[in-house]
Structure 1
Amino acid sequence: MTDRVVVVAGAVYDKGRLLAARRSAPEELAGRWELPGGKLEPGESPEQALVRELREELGVETEPVERIPGEWQLKPGYVLQVWTARLVSGEPRPLEDHDALRWLAPDETDAVDWLDPDRPAVAEAARRLRAGYPGMRDNGTTPS
């Protein structure tokens, strides 16, 4: 039995850009930006939870690519793990817990006020996008 709750988030990318989601709740987080995701449910792998959460929160289908190294404390008993994830289908919409979405180029990631626990993963995802990291390439698409 574990005494911590794992929260998974997706560094969702498409066409060389990273998706940012602005929180609408809870009040203490509202107006700040995050990588979207949510809590692992019993019996789920982190990758399964990520796909489910992104479908529920954004209405999109994604493919987890790989975990960004590290784990970040959210609040006592809660830790954040982040995966890069490729957008497979759908146009992201803020369906739950968010009131706005933005696609950011790698050099624009500091244009929003990220939640503190997300900052290290955002920096790594942006670095990977800038470097053309194999796990961050868009399959079958070219940037316009």
Structure 2
Amino acid sequence: MTERTVVVGAALLDAGRLLAARRSAPPALAGRWELPGGKVEEGEAPEAALVRELREELGVDTETVERVPGEWPLRPPYVLQVWTARLCPGSAAPAPLQDHDALRWLAPDEIWDVDWLDQDVPAVREALTRLAAEAP
């Protein structure tokens, strides 16, 4: 069996909007937008990894809601899994602390206004269906 590493991404939803994060590194990805997240560490549950990564990258306290169906290949051995998540009451507002230089909350009609990383596009499409259900 081939080793694979799971990368978790957050479809962070708030008030009917989705958070997009613009990459600042590495150079090949800089300037493109993604769902924030990161690698699952050895022995860590994906949901716990997502909460940890969002705290490290954005300075927010979140909770995962549900897994977005599907799994998307990244550069081997990485695969992307996405969860919807929400800010915990009293959490700070998201800020780009590492790996990103800008954040945007996108309403459903603004989702495609940013240049998403190719591998995030299918996950964003899936998240958009949940966003429509969350809209106020």
2:125 corresponding residue in structure 1: 123
Q: What secondary structure does 2:3 align onto?
A: coil
Report SS of the residue matched to 2:82: strand
Distance 1:87 1:18 in 2: 12
CA distance in 2, matches of 1:107, 1:128: 14
Which of 104, 110, 120 pairs up with 2:112? 110
For residue 74 of structure 2, give the secondary structure of its aligned residue in structure 1: strand
In the alignment, which residue of structure 1 is the partner of 2:10? 10
Q: Secondary structure at the match of 1:82?
A: strand
The residue number in structure 2 matching 1:99 is: 101
Following superposition, the deviation at residue 106 of structure 1 comes to 1.2
**TM-score, normalised via structure 2 length:** 0.94
Distance in 1, Cα, partners of 2:106 & 2:68:
18
The normalised TM-score by structure 1 is: 0.89
**SS across alignment from 2:119:** helix
Paired-residue identity, % = 73
1:78-129 deviation line (CA, Å, top 9, x unaligned): 0000000011121000000000000000121000000011111111111221
Distance apart, 1:2 and its partner CA:
6.0
| Corresponding residue of 2:73 | 73
Q: Distance in 1 between matches of 2:93 and 2:2?
A: 36
Partner of 1:140: none
The correspondence for 1:90, drawn from 65, 89, 92, is 92
Q: Is the 8 A contact 1:7 1:39 kept in 2?
A: yes
**In structure 2, what is the equivalent of residue 28 of structure 1?**
28
Deviation at 1:9, TM superposition (A): 0.6
| Structure 1: tracts of 5 or more residues without a match | 138-142
Structure 2: gaps (5+ residues): none
**CA distance in structure 1 between the partners assigned to 2:130 and 2:53 by the alignment:** 23
Moved over 2 A (4+): none
Letter of the aligned partner of 1:98 in structure 2?
H
Moved more, 45-54 or 2-11: 2-11
| Number of residue pairs matched by the alignment | 134
Which string of whole-angstrom CA distances, capped at 9 and with x for unpartnered residues, describes residues 5-56 of structure 1? 1100100011110000000000000000000000000111000000000000
CA RMSD of aligned residues (A): 1.3
